[in-house]
Amino acid sequence: MPTVAELAALVGGEHSTDDGSVTITGPAALAEARAGEISFFGHRRYAADLKTTKAAAVLVPRDFCGETPAVCIRVEDPSAAFTAVTHRFVPAPVAPPPGVHPSATVDSSAKIAPGACVQAQAVIEAGVTVGEGSVIGAGCYLGKNATVGEGCLLHAHTVVREGCILGDRVILHCGVVVGSDGFGYDTKDGCHHKIPQIGCVIIGPDVEIGANTTIDRARFGRTVIGEGTKIDNLVMIAHNVVIGRHCIICAQVGISGSTQIGDYVVIAGQAGLVGHIKVGDGAIIGAQSGLSNDLEPKAIVVGSPPRPIGEWKRGIVRLDRLGQLYDRVKKLEQRAG
C-alpha cells in the first residue's frame, strides 16, 4: 500500500514532514471514510464532514486553513488529484480477448480488425467496418455500412444504425441508439406522413455517450457530435443537430432538430433547446432552462425563459420577498382607508 508521501509525490502535493509514512489503503468520501483511507475536500458544503472525517489523509486546496483530524495533502485541484489517486488503487481493466464469439452473427462482407472483439449475440450487418482494438459488446447491433473506429468500446445492447460513423476511442454505454430515424412528418388530409430520414450520424473521436441516450440520423446530411464531447444518460439529440468539440451535456437534456452548438458548451440537466438555433462557444445553459433563441459565446443563462445568471439570481431573491411586500402593501392600504 502507498504512503502519504508517495501519493503526495504522485499528485505534486505537499504534506507536513512528519506525516509521510502513514499508509493509505484506498479512496473514500469524507463522510464514509474509515481509518487508513484517503479523501478530498473540494467544496465548502462539505466543511462539516471534513471536521469529523475518519480518513487518514485528505487532499485539500493549497490555501486551505480549516480544521481536520486527517493529514492534509495540499494540491492545486483536490478533485483532479483525487482522481489520480483513485487510479493508483484501481486494477487495470481486463481486456476481452480479440475474436468473434460463436453466437455472434457477422455478415461475410463485414471487415472486423484482427484485434477487435465481438461478443455473444452481437449482430453485424453487411459492409460494416470495426477498427483495431474495438470491443462490440454482447447483443450489440451494427447496421449496414456502419463504421466503428479503433479502440472503441460499445457496451452491451447498443445500436449503431446503417451508415453511421464512430471515430476512434468512442465509448457507448448500454442502451445507446445512434442513428434512429429523425422525428419528421408532413400532415396532409388529417394524417401524419413520414418524411424519409436518409442522412447519418458522425461521432468524433474520444466521445463518450451515457446509457439510453438517443442520437437521431439527419433528415439529409449529417447529425454531428464533435471530438471529446461527453454526453450523460437519457439525452435526446434530434436530427441534423451539430454539437462542437469538448462539450458537456448532462442527463435528460433534449436538443431539437438542426440546432448548432459550439465548442466547450455546457448544458446542465433537464435543459431543453428548440430547433434551428445557435449556441456560441463556451456558453453555459443552466439546469431546467428552456432555450428558444440564439445564445452568444460564453453567455451563462438559467431559467425558462432563460436569463443571464446574475439577473436570474436577483429575480429569485425578489420572488422570495413578494410575501413581505404583499403584507406591507396591505398594511398601507388599511392605513389609507
DSSP result, 295-319: B-TT-EEETTTTEEHHHHHHHHHHH
Q: Provide, rounded to the nearest whole percent, the portion of the chain with pLDDT above 90.
A: 83
> How is residue 299 written as a grid cell?
453567455
Res. 110: pLDDT tops 90: yes
Report DSSP state, residue 327: H
E strands along 167-227, which residues? 171-172, 177-180, 185-188, 191-194, 200-203, 208-209, 214-216, 222-225
Average pLDDT, the chain: 94
> How is residue 75 written as a grid cell?
494540491
pLDDT at 17: 66
> How is residue 38 written as a grid cell?
484517503
Strands 300-302 and 266-267: unpaired
> How is residue 157 written as a grid cell?
445492447
pLDDT at 208: 98
Q: In what order do the strands lie in the sheet with 290-291?
A: 105-106, 123-124, 141-142, 159-160, 177-180, 214-216, 236-237, 254-255, 272-273, 290-291
Res. 179: pLDDT tops 70: yes
Res. 16: pLDDT tops 80: no
Q: Of 91-95, 185-189, 242-246, 326-330, where does mean pLDDT reach its minimum?
A: 91-95
pLDDT at 292: 93
Higher pLDDT: 308 or 158? It is: 158
Res. 73: pLDDT tops 70: yes
pLDDT at 101: 97
Closest-CA residue to 197 (of 253, 238, 246, 252): 238
pLDDT at 166: 98
pLDDT at 220: 94
The identity of residue 236, as a single letter, is M
Structural contact between residues 287 and 309, judged by C-beta atoms closer than 8 angstroms: no
Residues β-bridged to residue 186:
193
Structural contact between residues 197 and 176, judged by C-beta atoms closer than 8 angstroms: no
Taken in order 11, 59, 249, 295, the sign of the CA dihedral is negative
**Which CATH number applies to 4-89?**
3.40.1390.10
Residues β-bridged to residue 167:
none
Say whether 239 is catalytic: yes
Q: Provide, rounded to the nearest whole percent, the portion of the chain with pLDDT above 70.
A: 99
Q: Which string of b and e fits 279-317 if b means at least 16 CB within 10 Å?
A: bbebbbbbeebebeeebeeebbbbbeebbeeeebeeeee
Q: Rg of the chain over CA atoms, in angstroms?
A: 26
Residues β-bridged to residue 142:
124, 160
In a 10 Å sphere around its CB, with 0-12 CB exposed, 13-18 middle and 19+ buried, how is residue 160 labelled?
Answer: buried
In the chain, ranges of CATH 3.40.1390.10 domains: 4-89
Res. 309: pLDDT tops 80: no
> How is residue 183 written as a grid cell?
422525428
Total residues found in the chain within this entry: 337
pTM to 2 decimals?
A: 0.86
> How is residue 31 written as a grid cell?
463522510
Res. 334: pLDDT tops 90: no
Domain topology for 99-310: UDP N-Acetylglucosamine Acyltransferase; domain 1 (2.160.10)
The one catalytic residue in 43, 157, 239, 246 is: 239
Mean pLDDT, range 251-278, rounded to an integer:
97
Mean pLDDT, range 319-326, rounded to an integer:
82
In the chain, ranges of CATH 2.160.10.10 domains: 99-310
Mean pLDDT, range 96-111, rounded to an integer:
97
Residues β-bridged to residue 15:
none
Q: Of 34-48, 109-123, 271-285, 311-325, where does mean pLDDT reach its minimum?
A: 311-325
Mean pLDDT, range 81-102, rounded to an integer:
91
pLDDT at 112: 98
Residue 167's pLDDT band (boundaries 50, 70, 90)? very high
pLDDT at 91: 82
